[in-house]
Amino acid sequence: MLVLIWHLQSPKPKWNWQPIVLFRTLLKTAGKCLPQRRIITKSKTWKSFDFGIESEVKSKLLIKNGKANVSSTKVANKVVNRKCIDFHNEMIPKSVGDLAVHSKKVQEVEKWLTSNVLNKETVKGSFLLLSGPTGCGKTATLNVLCKKLGIQISEWINPVDQGYEVLKTINQVRRFTEFLTDSKWNSLFDADDVNRITLVKDFPNIVAHRPEEFCNILSECHGKLKYPVVFISTDTNNNAINFTRTLFTDDIMLKYDITQISLPNNSARFFSLHKLSEEHLMLQKTCRDFAETELKPIAAELDRDHIFPAEQIKKMGELGLLAVNVSEKYGGAGQDYLALAVAVEEIAKACGGTGTIMSVHNCLYVNLIDKFGTEDQKEKFLKPFTTGTLGCFALSEPEAGSDVGAMLTTATLDGGSYVLNGTKSWVTSGAEGKAAVVFATVDKKLKHKGITGFLVPLPWAGVSLGKKENKLGIRCSSTCNIILEDVRIPKENVLGTVGGGFKMAMEQLDKARVGIASQALGIGQAALEIAVDYAAHRKAFGQPINQLQAVKLRIADMAVKLEAARLLVWRAAVCCDEPQRTTKESSMAKLAASEAATFVSHSAIQILGGMGYVADLPAERYYRDARITEIYAGVNDVQRLLIGDLIIKELQN
């Protein structure tokens, strides 16, 4: 039994921050730092292995014999009868997960994780447990390790299935056991003839449902595994060491040959109820500064004259705001969904229409292709769209909005191409977009199961645009129909799988609702601030009206609704980085934030009175902009139905 513990403890760095840099400075900084690490495992004498990595920090690998007293390596608890490998780092400001995606650092990460300590001769086990908080690098560690040892992942158990369903009944436990076992057994690091592993994600859900049955699985599977089993555990309390020591005694770890790799990380992404992380706060300030200088002064003009903010969108692309979640490999900033939520709120606070453009492009175009596209598709339809060129999302139709299964746009296979015919409506940035994800059905009889996504360049033969809609709000964001007449698209442009478009769209719309909710927060926050500012200067009855009880009560209600919605939005954003569907969380966030924005903007007009009704002040614009957030990405009535169904199912089960 071996335990590997990876610590990343980072002091608050001092940054000379410039708005145009965004998060790329943060990411590049990680490439300039190497950890100091101490490794303790079985050996008769101290040995030192130089990794040969050029760095400001001299990195050594130290190996020592005997039981591990890890208190000397700044881990609070002493481990008895456990061999312990401790990587200790006080310099890297980002997680291993972030570090591993950097092309310049992958080679170094491989050297760290696949040294002589982690090889077939020194580590053997029936099970491997990878644990740690979100973003600490569990998956990156496994991928690097498998690459080094020539092991492939043969089975990937769906996290929803294994986490919430597999272990609810004894029969399901039995099927799970049979799935894992066979007559042949090999350990992970002794798998020369069976170079495969079974990967099970979201390990705590298994234990939480039926810990006793899980121990039975360990017992019955031990010694007769079909393939070695790797469990990946996301430890939400940011302390994987305490989690695993509480869960497993030394006897169990030894008895069932469990190799544990634990990656606690103080700088990993986690959700705080009371504050944003330092990285998110820096991003927030960057977006706020940009919005205050580039968008707020011209927002009224953009709205009045229906002007698309082309120059500002280009600058946002340079900042990385058009590919917040896309990995650096494809030109993105590589950040999480909470970062996107924070950024969209700040942009929408200055200009609701620009917030729409940013949200839709991120959530429903680049993120969609980043997740489901092939490498060739990403080169053609993703990379060029991270720096200022926009894409769009064409799902709705005149007779198919919430009822997507009623879609009439068809895609007919003809040789090596699909021929598309139909009309897509309410397409955001349709007039400016240079490509669109267009959904069409390959067979109307199949309804939802026939819907398929296609990547369509714009302009393209057979594609025409309808008129720009004259909307109530978000006027700088264009909305139009896309008309498809015998549009021939090569089969290579199918996004995802044929017939898989509906599921793909629904999964991404879950995340898009977080973007819309963030936009609503920005609009609502702007309305609250103008109301408070106006109330401080407008006098009535010999005093500022903010001293009137009625105004105070209204402001209190506005602030509470916004803050409550913000917590729901942030929680939903964090959930979007997890493998499970986030329908409930995203729908709750969108419902709460959009209705809060409408309520707050309405209340702002009430506080401003006549001045809130005229275009001299932006309160009336906030009210008009807020209304759309209750409609698109799923009208709020449908969100209530979704939430109700999910809550009933959840509580009844």
220 and 249 Cβ atoms separated by less than 8 Å:
no
3-state DSSP call for residue 297? helix
pTM: 0.64
> Is residue 330 domain-resident?
yes
pLDDT exceeds cutoff 90 at 6: no
More confident residue, 601 or 132: 601
Neighbours of 296 (CB within 10 A): 16
Q: Please check whether residue 270 lies inside any domain of the structure.
A: no
Kindly state the average pLDDT of the residues 603-625.
Answer: 97
What integer pLDDT is reported at residue 285 of this predicted model?
Answer: 93
Residue-wise pLDDT for 498-550, tens only, equals 999 999 999 999 999 999 999 999 999 999 999 999 999 999 999 999 999 99
Task: Count CB neighbours of 71 within 10 A.
Answer: 11
Whether 86 is covered by a domain: the verdict is yes
Mean local confidence (pLDDT), 309-321:
95
- Is 108 domain-assigned? yes
Cα→Cα distances 218→159, 273, 585, Å: 19, 36, 33
Q: Is 354 left (phi over 0), alpha (psi -120 to 50) or beta?
A: alpha
- Examine the fold and report which residue of 473, 501, 529 is the final residue of a domain before the chain moves on: 501
pLDDT tens for each residue of 167-202: 334 444 444 455 444 433 333 333 344 445 555 555
| Cα angle 485-491-493, degrees, rounded to a multiple of 5 | 80
Highest-confidence segment of 33-47, 216-230, 557-571: 557-571
> Within a domain: residue 106?
yes
* Distance in angstroms (rounded) separating the CA atoms of residues 163 and 153: 19
- Where b means 16+ CB within 10 Å and e means fewer, 374-386 reads beebbebbbbebb
In the chain, the amino acid numbered 374 is T
Of 385, 401, 431, the residue that ends a domain is 385
Kindly state whether residues 196 and 218 are assigned to the same domain: yes
Compute the average pLDDT of residues 280-301: 95
Strands (E) across 318-466 are located at 392-394, 410-414, 417-428, 435-441, 451-457, 463-465
Measured between alpha carbons, how far is 135 from 143 in angstroms, rounded to an integer? 14
Q: How many domains does the chain have?
A: 4
pLDDT, mean over the chain: 73
Determine the pLDDT at residue 402.
Answer: 86
pLDDT band at 644 (very low <50, low <70, confident <90, very high): very high
| pLDDT score of 314 | 96
* Boundary-marking domain end, from 501, 528, 545: 501
Three-state SS for 358-389 is HHHHHHHHHHHHHHHCCHHHHHHHCHHHCCCC
pLDDT tens for residues 445-483? 999 999 999 999 999 999 999 999 999 999 999 999 999
74 backbone φψ class: left, alpha, beta (φ>0; ψ -120 to 50): left
Query: Is 88 a residue whose pLDDT tops 60?
Result: no
List the end-to-end C-alpha distance of the chain, in Å, as a whole number.
38
With tokens 């998060």, the residue in question is 23
Residue 614 domain boundaries: 503-652
- Asked if 198 and 320 sit in the same domain, the reply is no
Q: Are residues 369 and 357 in the same domain?
A: yes
- Percent of the chain exceeding pLDDT 70 equals 58
Q: What is the pLDDT of residue 623?
A: 98
In degrees, to the nearest 5, what angle opens at C-alpha 588 toward C-alphas 587 and 594? Answer: 85
Whether 262 shows a pLDDT value over 60: the answer reads no
Contact 86, 7 (CB under 8 A): yes
376 and 408 co-located in one domain: no
d(Cα 191, Cα 327) in Å, to the nearest integer?
32
Q: In this structure, are residues 330 and 323 in contact, taking their beta carbons and an 8 Å threshold?
A: yes
| DSSP-derived secondary structure letter, 370 | H
Q: What is the pLDDT of residues 23-46, one digit of tens each?
A: 333 333 333 332 322 222 222 222
